A and B are shown apart, each in its own frame.
Chain A
Amino acid sequence: MTAPKRILIVDDEQDIRTYLSTLLEDQGYQTVQARDGEEAMQKLLAESPDIITLDVSMPEKSGIKFFREIKTDDRWKHIPVIIVTGVSEDFKNFISSRHRVPAPEGFVSKPISREEILNLVSTLTR
């Protein structure tokens, strides 16, 4: 039996982190939470997640900045990232700010569809 996949959930809203972690753990995944980009970076080092769900607008370090950092770092750039955001404008900013960074592996709009996020996580961790 293979070890359960580990998901890093990054969002500044405690309720959304609770929701996503409960939802994903119910499907047999392991979850780790971080409330902003800075904490996410610490968890990345300590927990080696298999996939990341990432909110874009957060205090301290934003999701965009965190995404750029991991996608330009050989240690982490293979980890798939699902952007979970409520601001459509942020998508645009996000895409236009990509520069030499590849596109994120998945996008999910808030309010999220459970099926959509579970399918994406399942596909990207296969």
Chain B
Amino acid sequence: MTDKPYKNYFELMPAYLTILDRDLRIVQANKRFHEDFGDFEGRYCFQVNQHRSERCEHCPTERTFRDGLRHEVEEKFVNNMGHEIFLLINTTPITNEAGEITHVMKMGTDISELKILQDQLRNSRERYRKLFEEVPCYISIQDSDLRIVDANRRLREDFDATPGDKCHQIYMHRAEACVPCIVKQTFDDGQVHQTEEVMTSPKGEQVNVLVYAAPLRDTEGKISNVIEMSTNITQIRQLQSQLTSLGLIISSISHGIKGLLTSLDGGVYLVNTGLAKNDRARFEQGWKMVERNITRIRRMVLDLLYYAKDRVPELEKTLAPVLAEEVCEVMRGKATEMGIDFKCEFDSNAGEFDADPKAIRTLLINLVENAIDACRVDKKKKTHQVRIGLKGYSEYIKFEVEDNGIGMDQEIRERAFSLFFSSKRGSGTGLGLFISNKIAQAHGGEIKIDSELNKGTRMIVKLPRKHPVSETEAPKA
């Protein structure tokens, strides 16, 4: 067999073929190489291929000379037109009869188009990644164990999500999966599922989310993962709850007013019939009912105004003992009528503080009314006491309203300041403590509840002497 056919194959190969000696000089090259890279005789491969004057740092040919093995690398050549060409380089040792490597054959396959496609693919991947990262939703890719394989930036930042975490752990801080779990459902039936959840962020914030789960399939069409996307709809839900609250307040107010009107009507009946029968005791009883219920209606309207207007307190230097005394005078009659021992223990040197006296009076009266109610419905004790306390400290004023009525359990304590929460069933509007708390906050102060079921309650109101002006000027959250 002659060398001629091989020579032909060598020439016609749709690749760049060169034979290099130990000095990396090109001793032979095929036609295609010759056409695209010009003269090579006696020149080094790096001069011809890369237009360089020194050897390349990682030379596959040198490695093949050294270890006798084939090597594959990607290299960038510059052809005689000055164009860059991306090549996949394969080096193969050529040995003599003694088995010594005398030359290396270097084959370069043009992969420029592949390279362009790869770049495009990378760019498009980056674009999708960016979309995945920056979209204003929480997105996670989960496996069938509900483990997070990938999480977008928002999910990582707001929920500290890292791959390997379980979905329910980071969203719900719970060891068990949700029931039902829409990711599981999607794994089971391949359908898109939707649900609404309330998640808790690591900061303890409640986040209302609308959650979608959709299948991700592999090339065989099998579901490999499920993508879960959660949109934060907290603001919408808050708005809805405000609207619901508005509905509730109307129904609650109308119930309250109906009760008050009935009592007022009763008072009028007693007054009229007392007059007609010349029964003074009945007349007086009726008149007290009228007075009492007019006061209650007035108070209710004031509370409502406070709620509706979100009033900014009209601050003035107020003497705390004078204010407390006024409240005691107003409430003493009601308490003694119910057979409740009513004590006012004031530190007469408690001094001044920045207050809206009308608002603080409303606050204290609300607390005292609650204390009296708590005693009124308590049948477990024979005698009841309500105590109003006042003490002055250097930075703040402390009011206390204490009773030995029915007390509160933990649930009632926790919900006591919520709007429309009333433990008094029909007889409360659920406004009083909500408004009292708002008043305390508007003064830069706070109300604390110390209460035990069946034992009694102590409400502690701390109000700063100097109103923290900067806080009130800050925009409301």
* Residues of A in contact with B (beta carbons under 8 Å apart): 12-13, 15-16, 18-20, 22-23, 26, 35-36, 55-60, 62, 86-90, 109-112, 114
Contact = CB atoms under 8 A, between A and B. Distances in A.
Contact of B258 (A18, A59, A62, A110): A110
25 contacts: A12-B425, A12-B426, A13-B259, A13-B262, A13-B263, A15-B262, A15-B293, A18-B266, A20-B266, A22-B273, A57-B255, A57-B425, A58-B427, A59-B377, A59-B427, A86-B254, A86-B262, A87-B255, A87-B426, A88-B251, A89-B251, A110-B258, A110-B259, A111-B262, A112-B262
A43 to B, nearest CB: 14
B265 interface: yes
Contacts of B254: 86
Contact of B263 (A19, A35, A89, A109): A19
B48 interface: no
Contacts, number: 84
Contacts of A111: 258, 261-262, 265
A76 B232 CA distance: 55
B422 to A, nearest CB: 10
B263 A56 contact: no
B265 A19 contact: yes
A15 to B, nearest CB: 4
B251 A23 contact: no
A86 B269 contact: no
Q: SS class of chain B's interface: helix, strand, loop or mixed?
A: helix
Contact of A112 (B251, B265, B282, B424): B265
Nearest to A23: B269
Given A59-B425, A59-B427, A86 B263 contact: no
Contact of A57 (B267, B289, B427): B427
B426 A55 contact: yes
B427 A18 contact: no
Contacts of A89: 251
A88 B252 CA distance: 11
The residue in A16, A19, A20 that gathers the most chain B C-beta atoms within 10 A of its C-beta is A19
B439 interface: no
B270 interface: yes
B264 to A, nearest CB: 8
A56 B292 CA distance: 23
The residue in B263, B266, B285, B292 that gathers the most chain A C-beta atoms within 10 A of its C-beta is B266
Given A110-B258, A110-B261, A111-B258, A19 B424 contact: no
A11 B256 CA distance: 14
Interface string B420-461: 000111110000000000000000000000000000000000
B270 A86 contact: no
Contacts of A12: 377, 425-427
Given A12-B425, A60-B377, 12 more contacts: A15-B263, A18-B266, A18-B270, A19-B266, A22-B282, A55-B426, A57-B427, A59-B425, A110-B258, A110-B261, A111-B258, A111-B265
Given A59-B377, A111-B261, A16 B425 contact: no
A16 B263 contact: yes
- Interface size class, chain B: 20 to 34
A89 B251 CA distance: 8
B267 A58 contact: no
A18 B269 CA distance: 11
A110 B256 CA distance: 10
Contacts of B269: 19, 22-23, 114
Nearest to A39: B379
A60 to B, nearest CB: 7
A22 B277 CA distance: 13
Interface in B239-293: 251, 254-256, 258-259, 261-263, 265-267, 269-270, 273, 282, 285, 289, 292-293
B373 to A, nearest CB: 9
A1 B424 CA distance: 44
A19 B270 CA distance: 7
Interface in B351-369: none
A15 B289 contact: yes
A112 B258 CA distance: 9
Given A12-B425, A16-B263, A86 B255 contact: yes
Given A86-B255, A86-B262, A111-B261, A15 B426 contact: no
Nearest to A26: B273
Interface in B146-178: none
Nearest to B251: A89
A86 B259 contact: yes
Contacts of B265: 19, 111-112
Nearest to A20: B266
Q: Enumerate the 7 nearest inter-chain pairs by beta-carbon distance, A residue then B residue, closest first.
A: A57-B426, A19-B266, A86-B258, A15-B263, A111-B261, A110-B258, A87-B255
A12 B352 CA distance: 40
A109 B261 CA distance: 12
A20 B267 CA distance: 11
A75 B475 CA distance: 64
